Amino acid sequence: MDASQWLHKQPQGLYCEPADCYIDPLHPVEHALITHAHADHAIGGHQSVTATSSTLAIMQTRYGEDMAGSTQAVNYHEQITLGSLNDPVTCVFYPAGHILGSAQILLCYRGTRVVISGDYKRQSDPTCLPFKPVPCDVFITEATFALPVFKHPSIEQEMAKLLDSLAVFPERCHLVGVYALGKCQRVILALRAIGYTSPIYLHGAQRKLCDLYERQGIELGELIDVAEVSDKQSLAGNIVLAPPSALSDRWSRTLPNVRRAMASGWMQIRARAKQRQVELPLVVSDHCDWQALLDTIEEVNPNEVWITHGREDALLHALTQQGRTAQALSMVGYESDTQD
């Protein structure tokens, strides 16, 4: 049965009719399947939420224990059944390689398989399980960085730039803008992996999720809250991780001789770095770049591709030229600017 007959776009998000549930709805609904806990995919206030246990734990940390009427935790690769027993939708969550707990959701109805990939990447990331290509009829993908100009370097290379800068400017406090969920912990682990063992300092907004990652078994090394440091001059030559919004606010003026950096896929665009007054742009993305998108679609090799949001035109054009069937869903509200 043609997937568009049972899975369609609604103002709240993608709706699976025979299962009566939404995927990553942007407004409170009765039953939500959540790919991952970034705020543009996971909101509080649903009557019931089905997600991986890590995603549920992050949502509870952000929105409170009562973030949903009820929750159902699913393991990766575990098959669950939705909808009516005599005409069911089967559903499996697979790793997406995006952040801790992130998943692609496979929905299968009357023999048609649809994979909703949520956000995903193919670069290595020790904070989560790697993306798993899942055979399907319809592959639903985002297109945040779907332009040939986007080429994400390795995170090791970008972190080496940060350590080089620390060596060159030991009198300056290196303030790095990172989103609190996912990017922050990935940057910390990448620094540890290339041998940086000094304490890493945190803006207060980063603490709760770092603690949660540690409780989930991801060890981040010594982390110190900037608020606990009485002599702020001692932060010269050290790394402070803060939300991007804190890069140029009053709080940052308490730090000595700040050198501003930011870790984001958007740092490849010079104007964005300038806008944020970033001296040291670090191109670190939790999304696919252009080539990784094309390679992934080739590997998954679906009959059809649906593109949710981002640079839909460019990806649509490239896929059509390859002879693939593709369509743009033009979904609004999933703006990755805020998370990446």
Q: In terms of CB distance, is 165 or 308 closer to Zn ion?
A: 308
Of all helices (H) and strands (E), which one includes residue 9?
A: strand 7-10
Q: Is 125 near Zn ion (CB under 5 A)?
A: no
Interface with Zn ion by CB under 5 A: which range of 24-32, 116-124, 128-136, 198-206?
A: 116-124
Q: Is 52 near Zn ion (CB under 5 A)?
A: no
Interface with Zn ion by CB under 5 A: which range of 13-21, 32-40, 108-116, 311-319?
A: 32-40
Q: In terms of CB distance, is 89 or 99 closer to Zn ion?
A: 99
CB 88 within 8 A of CB 110: no
Length of the chain: 340
Angle at 25 between CA 24 and CA 30, to 5 degrees: 110
CA dihedral 130, 29, 333, 145 (to 10 degrees): 20
Beta-bridge partners for 116: 105, 140
Q: Cβ of residue 21: shortest distance to Zn ion, in angstroms?
A: 19
Q: In terms of CB distance, is 18 or 182 closer to Zn ion?
A: 182
Which positions ≥6 away from 222 have C-beta within 8 Å? 198, 199, 200
The single-letter code of the amino acid at 254 is: T
Q: Is 336 near Zn ion (CB under 5 A)?
A: yes
Q: Nearest 5°: phi and psi at 232?
A: -65, -25
Q: Cβ of residue 127: shortest distance to Zn ion, in angstroms?
A: 13
Q: Cβ of residue 336: shortest distance to Zn ion, in angstroms?
A: 5
Interface with Zn ion by CB under 5 A: which range of 61-69, 73-81, 126-134, 328-336?
A: 328-336
Query: What order of strands is seen across the sheet that includes strand 173-177?
Result: 223-225, 200-202, 239-242, 173-177, 258-263, 280-282
Candidates 15, 24, 38, 131; binder of Zn ion (CB under 5 A) is: 38
CB 51 within 8 A of CB 34: yes
- Total number of residues that touch Zn ion (CB under 5 A): 6
How many angstroms separate the CA atoms of 117 and 134, rounded? 10
Candidates 119, 158, 289, 312; binder of Zn ion (CB under 5 A) is: 119
Q: In terms of CB distance, is 174 or 287 closer to Zn ion?
A: 287
Q: Cβ of residue 5: shortest distance to Zn ion, in angstroms?
A: 26
Interface with Zn ion by CB under 5 A: which range of 37-45, 146-154, 159-167, 264-272?
A: 37-45
Interface with Zn ion by CB under 5 A: which range of 11-19, 35-43, 243-251, 256-264?
A: 35-43
Beta-bridge partners for 94: 104
Q: Cβ of residue 49: shortest distance to Zn ion, in angstroms?
A: 16
- Please give the structure tokens belonging to residue 161: 């730039």
How many angstroms separate the CA atoms of 64 and 43, rounded? 11
Q: In terms of CB distance, is 55 or 252 closer to Zn ion?
A: 55
Residues that bind Zn ion (CB under 5 A): 38, 40, 119, 334, 336, 339
